[in-house]
Structure 1
Amino acid sequence: MPTRRDLLAAVGAAATAGAAGCVQVGSPDVAPSAAGAAGNATEDGTTEQRSGSATETEVYRSTIQSVVGVLNYGRNGPQGSGSGFVAGDGYIVTNQHVVAGATEVKLRFRGNVWRDAEILGTDAYSDLAVLRAEDRPEEATPLSWVDTEPEPPVGTPVMAIGSPYGFSGSASTGIVSGVDRVLSAPNNFTVADSVQTDAALNPGNSGGPIVTYDGDVVAVAARGGGDNIGFGVSAALSKRVVPALAASGEYDHSFMGVRLIEVSPTIAEAYDLDDVGGVLIVEVIEGGPADGTLRGTDGETTVDGVSVPTGGDVVVGVGGRDVEVQADLSNYLALETSPGDEVEFAVLRDGSETTVSFELGERPEPNL
């Protein structure tokens, strides 16, 4: 059976015809645009399709049946809405914050088809949730996750599909404009390996898919920023968390038990470091996994008028990989480890590099 990617490639390889006038995006009567980003203008004014590349309309048509609106009902009625999409063996992926506090969830499939949904699992630390729809429409087939080895690079064209402000079936386009972003999560933790995009993400887009032009999900839309900055939970992290939520209702995140900050120029000067890189352990939580192994700061000094904490370990490597910024450490823990794993850390301590190791714990329950 041909995959969604095969169908897009086949359609993209064919010539497209121009259409005059105004049409509604996603309308069944819409013809692919001859002026789409996937076409090249020729000298006689016609459009030559790039081989193997799909237009925006073709990407939209190939994925929209699998995208849903998500309505969150509480004890006092509707209390929020968002988006989602079909994945895996037919479950629905969305954001945790879209269904938080729900006593009932309803899904709106393409064609104004409504279904009740059951919440299978939620995870605040990745802001992901998995639902199961009753009697899912047959045409709502699962979307595939993008190949994450390697992940799509910055500049990859993408489309965000969802229900911003309740307008179902809306699409916006852009590119992957950043990777390896670290976003805030409950309890002062972070969501690692987040994807940045300039595709418009507005209230209601949360939980919807951000797809490549092959129709594969590169991220789960999570939040809009402003000035063309939005973020999504990466396919790499989603592929670890979502199956666990579908199977058991929860996901266990690795936990070091430390507070840390990135090494800045002033910290590098205070610690007499040759390079600005690594993360400084500010505090080791008593009784936590790193207690007795890593050292937190115990003093302070002033550099160029800035107070700098001193005495702590500077982590410059984990699992045999360099740590230059916080994202390097966060992404490794999120994508390569699980609670109970013994992990080796390279640290700068008292002016020299040493190696320590300890067993990772499990993040405590979030305060929501």
Structure 2
Amino acid sequence: MKFILGKDRKQTCLFPVSLEDSIESQNSVRSIDQFVDSLNLAELGFRSDFIENGPPAYNPSVLLKLYIYGYMNRIRSSRQLEKECRRNIEVMWLLESLDPDHNTISNFRKDNAKAIKKVFFATVQIARNFGLIGATLIAGDSTKFRAQNSKKNNFNQKKIQRHLDYIDNKLEQYNKALEQSDSENEKEQINKDIDKHQGRRNEYEKLNAQLKASGEPQISTSDPDSKHLIVRNNITEVAYCVQSTVDADHNIPFDYLVTNKNDSKAMGQMLQRAKTILETNTFTALYDKGYHTGSEFKTANNLGIKTLVAIPGIGRASQAPDPKYNSEHFKYSKENDTYTCPQGNILK
């Protein structure tokens, strides 16, 4: 049986193939290379001044090209990107055979977080220049990302007070047991339990003080910026809420914002950002029922932006005894500032 045979690994070539010849003309790495070279990295905020002592530093453009390549190919790990520099021919071409170590890659990402965000908005501007963003119809929505903080390490005033009440109750029981005990060994064990619970009580008192000082309704101990949010229906998680806005012409995302709040108070801020980015307010914005909040409609009206938001259904607790008399069946007259009920009666 015949098989397709490979080339002999020890075979030498009279005219060796260069890296340039190995990358086809339509490869996306060529776009990354051209895009980064067109940016003014100093204006975007990338550090460009380095001390002359010691080994020379990598040009920020080199590390930015690697970061964008990793983003486009779902390679987030700095160690994995380091491996790609030595074995991936596309990365070798893109970085001109440079191979920064994982610490250099990680520090670049950490030290230039704000500048990297500005690079995203630079891509939006390029898309606009090529007519890929129509700025006539946009849509906004959110995604919840679970934080590195368990529900156990998230506290609000009610939860802290519940723990304090439980500990106070246990301390009271231990003190009564201590009074009634005659055995020295038993008293010693009870005193250890009292010290343990007293230590826990001190920790909750510190958390209570931190919560009051922050002015926030809740506090997370492992991931301080995260909050306890409703993810879907009645399911909750300690998470982040990432708001994003997409243009309808070619489904290109042109804005995003990482928050720790639910959707109900997000629409106004995202519309303000969209108006700034698109430099117009003549577009129409679409949102789902989670964004249906009066104060956000007021913001949209002040911005002069046409906004369509799905009307949420009436909850079971808000239903009228007779569904015919639910609020959607009452007609409002703007001229007279009155409502007309299903029976035709006028309500002021």
TM-score (structure 1 length as normaliser): 0.24
- Give the structure with the larger helix fraction: 2
- Give the structure with the larger strand fraction: 1
Structure index of larger Rg: 2
TM-score (structure 2 length as normaliser): 0.25
